[in-house]
Structure 1
Amino acid sequence: MGKASRRLTGSLAAAAAASVAVAGAAVAAPSDSFQDEPDGVYRQYTIDNNLDNLFRVAGPDRISTAIKLMDSTSKWRYCGDRGKYENSGYYERNCDTVIVARADDFPDALASGPLADVYDAPVLLSNSGSIDSRVLAAIEDKGFKNAILVGGTGVWPAGAMQQLESKVGVGDVQQVGGINRYETATDIARHVGWRVSAQGVNPYTVNVYLATGTDFADALAAGSAAADNEGIVLLTNDKRLSADNNASERFTVRFLEEQSGWNSIFGKAVFNALEVHTVGGQAEAAAKSAEIDNIRDTNTGANRYATATMLAGKYRNGIDKIAVASGEGFADGVAAGAWAANHDGALLLTRNNSLSPETKTFLTGVADTDVDVVVVGGTGSVSRSVSDQIATELYTW
């Protein structure tokens, strides 16, 4: 197994080698990734262009759109064993967790797609500070038993934790985050690693998808691709990766340098990076400048739309659903990427007013299949003209 770290020297290399010697022998190859049961989109949501496999889920704003997206499929119809629908035929025992991320800025939410997948959890959005009352009402209505708050204490004060605890229970809220977006992504990665390792007889590795943390598009598309491949999303500082103590992205490098680390709480070695995939030109440049070994492949398209379709074309397990969101704004893509990861699907991006040629070509390739395509966001984010063009690609004469 190749290294997935910078070329370590001196005592740091020796420490990493010792760590591998302790735990590396127990590491097995990844098993099948988290696969989800078939889950159709509810027909009461808008059907664009009278096609039974093209939908639009939208609310008046990004917060309500994320709630409607959660409501749009049976996966999270009614959750929690203390929910009011516990004895109904719609009760889901596996959907006990909800994730809350920022609606007003993208950095902390960038790596949340794989986290949503391994917890079978939707991502809801709220402006930082206090939790939006609509989000709290939706969590209570579903009967979720656990909540994960993505972002550090600088984003979410103690009062936000207490608000969520009032709905799911005291002690049942985790805050996953760090001092910046890079540490938050590594904290998320560790949670994903623990969940992934628990699925097999032996612990095994996670795969790393590197994307820039200074913009949103590449990282959001990487999230659903990583979920298809037992992966996590880590962030580069544009075209830079450094372990220097003064570098904001040092957390990413140090995570990669951990190699195989023994976790005393879980008793498993879960942090090997079996494969490193770069997503976008900035991450590719950062990985090469930092001399990261074991880069499995690079996914650098001519633009963000091409990069997203490049990732979608490499899924190991096939695609059941496609979410299409604006590539010009982040918020709908955060919820849509998590939704896609939870439905063994891909996130594609488009310009607001015209379907991107790269996205159009990809959709042409899935015409006449059973894949549902869900446009996420209102016509101000993805215009009706775009859904008309999608319909043209999906419907073959």
Structure 2
Amino acid sequence: MKSAIRSSLVLALSAGLLAGVAGTASAAEVPDGRLKAVTADGNSGSPASLTRISGSTSVDTAVSISKAHWKGVAEAAGNVAESVVIASFSGYQDGASSIPLAKAKGGPLLLTNAPELLPLVKSEMARILAPGKTVYIAGDSGVVSAAVEKSIKDLGYNTKRFAGSTARDTSLAIARDGVVNPKHVVLASSNDWKDPLSAASAVAAAGGALILTDDGFLDPAAKAWLDGLPASVTKTTVGGPARNAYPSTDGPVVGKNAVETSALIADKFMPNPTRVSLASTMGFRDGLVGGAYAATVGMPTLLNPADELERGSKWFAVDHSASVKNVTVFGDTSVLSNRVGQAAQSAATEKFVDGEIVPEGEQPGTAADVAKFAIAPDWAPEAQGLVARGYYSGGMNNSEQKFCLWPSRWAICKEAFDASEIAVAAANKEGKSGGMWPGSNGNGGRKDAYRHCTWNGVMALKMGAKTAKGFADRHETGPKPPSMSEETAQKHHRMDYYNNAWGRFFGQYARDTDMTTYQAIQEVKGWCLLSVNDGDLHTLTR
């Protein structure tokens, strides 16, 4: 089993910076495709900033998170709250379903206990929400009492309650009648809090909603609602327990553990975030309220243990370090230590491999100079192998060429091309008679998934996940074949982005461990192959 093999390879990750980098710097693309660094040599610059939002209790933390974003009614400038969402302090299910509701209604998620409206929550509500606005309540009177609702009304607010006979029914009521017209729907099991929380926060940022399942069982009413949604609304099961609850539009999102799953679902809905947040796996309250705030500002919520930055969180921070400029930690040091925060800050600080920073005064090459680095798109005829032709004759797409025209980067572009050849050879072997998937389709099939995973894994091994992501993302901007519809092209892109991410996860892990290059490449190919066979990678055909 892949998970058993992967578990046996969980070694202590390197505590230092990534091997082979040329220091840290903050960077931005400029029109000619060069990177402009804070310093000319790219060896120093500002690290990603680190913010901690916490309180003496989880209720204090929730109020502190609200204060971090929402302005007071009397304040002239700031983010205006249009509503408040109230969920129970005691359970996670209604709170997770409420994260997309808070995003949709433009206000914070606050927690209270069943019998009474907690004084801190009452004060914060009065601070940010003008009288006459609506407070949304998640759950029936058994979880948020009628007395709480009366206290809210006594403050001059309208109330609207979303409730069902079970937490799963409540999730449907919120998705159907609260979020109303979601662009995406995620499904996660109600039997543990971690997958619903990370799934809800990620999908809410993209204008979506959460449906709770009983592991692989989906309530008939929820299924009927999902079946009736427009075809453009994607449906995604998140986490192993819910994997078979409903057919996923682009495949399920399942990591080896909840931390990996939180990173993968964040990458699916927020591929280029400017901030990233961490919530503890020790308890759900900070993550619920923090997840709603994170969704509002377009910030992924990664789950992580208290004392060590786990590899799923580290991978996401490194992979997205070109765009991430801030790490926000929810909760005090008892739930997420300073060590975790600082490790995440280091991982999220952009680092450059040799040649990535173009020296001032360097002259660009020509399209002919870089044609030998061109990587064929998936739809190019497979009979015309890269090795047989020397290189893909179709040339680079505009984004790839813009990056690769600079001579200082030719080594990076050659590494990406060489990685693609390794991936093509490995995939073609498995697609032939005697391979794992004889006759598999190289454009949308298992062979395609394996190739993308392996390509990105080898690139991440050689140049780090961040630089590999940049190259893979540029490759995806190439033109579609004339006969392919835009809808089909987007399906292929979503498949590729997801499988690319898995590959970079494997490659970054291999980069951070004590393996020879040959051993690491073999491991990456093996992990990707097992991921295809276990159904973790996405495919459109066989």
**TM, length-normalised to structure 1:** 0.71
Paired position in structure 1 for 2:396 = none
* Deviation (angstroms), 1:95: 1.7
Q: Aligned partners of 1:225, 1:192: CA distance in 2, in Å? A: 17
Paired position in structure 1 for 2:204 = 227
Amino acid corresponding to residue 115 of structure 2 in structure 1: G
1:137 aligns with 2:114: no
Are 1:111 and 1:185, in contact at CA under 8 Å, matched by a contact in 2? Answer: yes
Q: Aligned partners of 1:161, 1:176: CA distance in 2, in Å? A: 12
Identity of aligned residues (%): 25
Matches within 5 A, 1:45-60: 53-60=49-56
* Deviation (angstroms), 1:99: 1.0
- Judged with a 3 Å threshold, the aligned counterparts in structure 2 of structure 1 residues 256 and 356 are, in CA distance, closer, same or farther, namely same
- Judged with a 3 Å threshold, the aligned counterparts in structure 2 of structure 1 residues 317 and 121 are, in CA distance, closer, same or farther, namely farther
1:355 aligns with 2:332: no
Amino acid corresponding to residue 147 of structure 1 in structure 2: V
Are 1:340 and 1:346, in contact at CA under 8 Å, matched by a contact in 2? Answer: yes
**Equivalent residue of 2:136, what SS?**
strand
Paired position in structure 2 for 1:77 = 71
Paired position in structure 2 for 1:162 = 150
Amino acid corresponding to residue 201 of structure 2 in structure 1: S
Paired position in structure 1 for 2:226 = 256
**Equivalent residue of 1:380, what SS?**
coil
**Equivalent residue of 1:235, what SS?**
strand
Paired position in structure 1 for 2:477 = none
* Deviation (angstroms), 1:332: 0.7
For the pair shown, the structure with the greater C-alpha radius of gyration is 2
Q: Aligned partners of 2:171, 2:208: CA distance in 1, in Å? A: 12
Are 2:48 and 2:348, in contact at CA under 8 Å, matched by a contact in 1? Answer: no
Paired position in structure 2 for 1:372 = 326
- Judged with a 3 Å threshold, the aligned counterparts in structure 2 of structure 1 residues 393 and 189 are, in CA distance, closer, same or farther, namely same
Paired position in structure 2 for 1:384 = 338
Are 2:86 and 2:136, in contact at CA under 8 Å, matched by a contact in 1? Answer: yes
Are 2:97 and 2:174, in contact at CA under 8 Å, matched by a contact in 1? Answer: yes
Are 2:48 and 2:345, in contact at CA under 8 Å, matched by a contact in 1? Answer: no
- Judged with a 3 Å threshold, the aligned counterparts in structure 2 of structure 1 residues 149 and 193 are, in CA distance, closer, same or farther, namely closer
Alignment coverage as a number of residue pairs: 304
Match of 1:286 among 241, 245, 255: 245
Match of 2:88 among 102, 118, 125: 102
Paired position in structure 1 for 2:375 = none
Match of 1:149 among 137, 149, 166: 137
Matches within 5 A, 1:1-397: 53-73=49-69, 76-78=70-72, 83-85=73-75, 88=76, 90=77, 92=79, 94-144=80-130, 145-169=133-157, 172-194=158-180, 196=181, 206-241=183-218, 249-257=219-227, 259=228, 274-287=233-246, 292=247, 295-315=249-269, 318-367=272-321, 369-395=323-349
Q: Aligned partners of 2:270, 2:330: CA distance in 1, in Å? A: 24
Q: Aligned partners of 2:349, 2:233: CA distance in 1, in Å? A: 40
Q: Aligned partners of 1:117, 1:396: CA distance in 2, in Å? A: 29
- Structure number with the higher helix fraction is 2
**Equivalent residue of 1:282, what SS?**
coil
Amino acid corresponding to residue 277 of structure 1 in structure 2: T
Q: Deviations over 1:253-286 (max 9, x none)?
A: 34334x15xxxxxxxxxx7773211100111133
- Structure number with the higher strand fraction is 1
Are 1:278 and 1:295, in contact at CA under 8 Å, matched by a contact in 2? Answer: no
**Equivalent residue of 1:302, what SS?**
coil
Q: Deviations over 1:102-158 (max 9, x none)?
A: 222112112122111111111111122211111001111223432111111221221
Are 1:211 and 1:222, in contact at CA under 8 Å, matched by a contact in 2? Answer: yes
* Deviation (angstroms), 1:193: 4.1
- Judged with a 3 Å threshold, the aligned counterparts in structure 2 of structure 1 residues 210 and 134 are, in CA distance, closer, same or farther, namely same
Q: Aligned partners of 1:253, 1:316: CA distance in 2, in Å? A: 26
- Judged with a 3 Å threshold, the aligned counterparts in structure 2 of structure 1 residues 273 and 236 are, in CA distance, closer, same or farther, namely farther
Q: Deviations over 1:45-96 (max 9, x none)?
A: xxxxx966210000011111011011113xx112xxxx333xx3x255x422
**TM, length-normalised to structure 2:** 0.53
Q: Aligned partners of 1:84, 1:143: CA distance in 2, in Å? A: 10
Q: Aligned partners of 1:108, 1:371: CA distance in 2, in Å? A: 32
Gaps spanning 5+ residues in structure 1: where? 1-49, 197-204, 242-248, 261-270
Are 1:325 and 1:333, in contact at CA under 8 Å, matched by a contact in 2? Answer: yes
Amino acid corresponding to residue 282 of structure 1 in structure 2: P
- Judged with a 3 Å threshold, the aligned counterparts in structure 2 of structure 1 residues 160 and 251 are, in CA distance, closer, same or farther, namely farther
Gaps spanning 5+ residues in structure 2: where? 1-45, 352-542
* Deviation (angstroms), 1:349: 0.6
Paired position in structure 2 for 1:4 = none
